[in-house]
Amino acid sequence: MKSNSMVRTAAFLGALCLAVPVFAKPFVKVINITQPAKVGQATLQAGEYKLSIDGTKVTVQHGKDQVAQSEGRWEDRDAKSPYDAVLLGENGQVKEVRFSGQKRVFVFSE
């Protein structure tokens, strides 16, 4: 009887661990881009965009239209960013997005 109870408890905990990521919400933030920039294969003109970061996947929307999609990862920095910032690399490729008041930044894979 005791062994049967332990198996049920282990199965319940396993199912709970698998279900927790389902409830996680994506990180959503509106950013302003002041010059043309590239995300993945898409070129974004200056303007306001909504970033939706879900794990390692980022989706960029302009208004109601999805305009770009890419991959990346979260990294921690030593200090909090004082403002939102989009860091561009060579050829205008977005390399990193920093968020006001946060130590973590999203670094793009490209």
- Better-scored residue on pLDDT, 1 or 73: 73
Q: How confident is the model at residue 15 (pLDDT cuts 50, 70, 90)?
A: low
Backbone angles phi, psi at 90, to 5 degrees: -60, 145
Per-residue model confidence (pLDDT) at position 90: 83
Residue tagged 């049920």 (tokens)? 8
Task: Kindly list the domain boundaries of the chain, sorted by start residue.
Answer: 25-108
Locate 66 and state its tokens. 């999805």
What are the pLDDT digits (tens) for 32-91? 999 999 998 999 999 999 999 999 999 999 999 999 999 999 999 999 999 999 999 988
Tell me the pTM.
0.76
